[in-house]
Structure 1
Amino acid sequence: MTTSTFTRRLPVVVAIALTVLVVDQATKFWAESTLVGRAPIPVLGDFIRFRLLYNPGAAFSLGSGSTWIFTIIAAVAVVVLARFATRPQTAGRAFALALLLGGASTHLLDRLFRAPGFARGHVVDFIDYNGWFVGNVADIALTVGAVLLVLFGFTEQEDDQAGKPDRAE
């Protein structure tokens, strides 16, 4: 991969991550302004419903008493993902990293700035999947990004010689 390919890709990665962040926060604003005090709203029967919850923990509300730990984990994830995203990547990996970066960033913002307080904030969840779990747009981006990263890890070859001329042996 040439340096110019990478420099053209980086703004796209940032744009995708920002789009995930904005869409996630906008849908959470919608959920909080529309779903408070309402019974679940069927979207696809009982399989997908809109239902407002505030999650102090991780997936499936695990570790709900350790919100500050998830804030630290989210902050580390954002830094690590941003570092990886600024390295030369294949288009597929760059897209996957952008989704992960956007999802982790918006969860970090929730943890930092939502009630009950700084670094203890609860994540707004509102998409109920048949009672199995309740998530949000960031969760969708994180799941898709993780699956794509695994798939591209198996199917794409990383160019370890990026920018280096071929050598005859």
Structure 2
Amino acid sequence: MSEHPEVPVGAPDRAAPRTVLLIAAAAALPVYAVDQLTKWWVVATMALGERTPVVEGLLWWQHIRNPGAAFSLGADITWVFTVVMAVVSVLIVLTLRRVRSAPWALALGLVLGGALGNLTDRLLREPGFGVGHVVDFIAVPRFAIFNIADCGVVVGVSLVVLLTLLGRELDGTRTGSGVTDADRLEASPGEDEARG
């Protein structure tokens, strides 16, 4: 009896294309919807610059408009952030067509929802199309004021980093110590024929 496990270390943990898209949408849509709803609420109920304490000294709402990136960096090149977010969104959608991993679908869906949330602000808010200022309102001590879209991006990117460190590939295979090319080939027989 062989001491080697029947399933190699590099065995795929694949999700169907439809499942991948559903997971990504289930991550992206709530982030986008909550982001836009909370921004609408802030704009409708708070004056620009107004602060509302939530947890004294730890958390408050503060309505600001951010023309740049975190800490208002690049405030005079707002259009660059619009282009970057649009490109990122398109690249994520294209990448999702190759993804067969549920965790990767979740991570990319979170980033997509956040990118689209802030992109909507850039396109539709004052002072004009493509140079709109993002509504930020979540404030904590000694940190930039941010929004729900930013949270989606940060959590999604953190998951991407974690998956990369764990050797999880977009196609559902695993790489890392102990995984050989032979393992990966054995784990996905006929893949080359399927692609041809």
* 1:25-104 mapped onto 2 (5 Å cutoff): 25-36=36-47, 39-104=50-115
Structure 1 residue identity aligned to 2:189: P
Aligned equivalents of 1:38, 1:55: Cα separation in 2: 12
In the aligned structure 1, how far is the partner of 2:120 from the partner of 2:48? Answer: 24
Secondary structure of the structure 1 residue equivalent to 2:138: strand
The answer to whether residue 181 in structure 2 is matched with residue 157 in structure 1 is no
Runs of 4+ in 1 over 4 A off after TM superposition: 1-4
SS of corresponding position for 2:74: coil
Q: Give the TM-score taking structure 1 as reference length.
A: 0.89
- In terms of mean alpha carbon deviation, does 65-74 or 31-40 score higher? 31-40
Check the 8 A contact 2:89/2:112 in 1, yes or no: yes
How many pairs align? Answer: 167
Tell me which moved more, 39-48 or 141-150: 39-48
Query: 1:11 aligns to what?
Result: 22
Consecutive unaligned residues of structure 1, counting only runs of 5 or more, are: none
Q: Which runs of 5+ in 2 are unaligned?
A: 1-11, 174-183, 192-196
TM-score computed with the length of structure 2 as normaliser: 0.77
**Alignment of 1:126 onto 2:133:** no
One-letter amino acid of the counterpart of residue 20, structure 2: R
Matched, 1:20 2:44: no
Cα displacement (A) at 1:51: 0.5
Looking at structure 2, the residues matched to 39 and 7 of structure 1 have their Cα atoms a distance apart, in angstroms, of 44
CA separation of 1:151 and 1:3: change in aligned 2, threshold 3 A: closer
Q: SS where residue 135 of structure 1 aligns? A: coil
Give 1:107 shift: 1.0
26-35 or 89-98: bigger deviation? 89-98
Deviation at 1:103, TM superposition (A): 0.5
Larger Rg: 2
Contact 1:56 1:64 (8 Å CA) reproduced: yes
Q: Give the Å deviation of 1:137.
A: 0.2
State percent identity of aligned pairs: 39
Q: What are the Cα deviations for residues 60-81 of structure 1, in whole angstroms up to 9, with x where unaligned?
A: 1000011111111111111111
| Structure 1 residue 166: Cα displacement | 6.4
Measured against aligned partners, the alpha-carbon deviations of 1:101-146 in whole angstroms (never above 9, x if no partner) come to: 0101111111011100000100000001214210000011111111
Distance 1:37 1:97, change over 3 A: closer
Contact 1:49 1:130 survives alignment (8 Å): no
Cα RMSD of the aligned pairs, angstroms, is 2.3
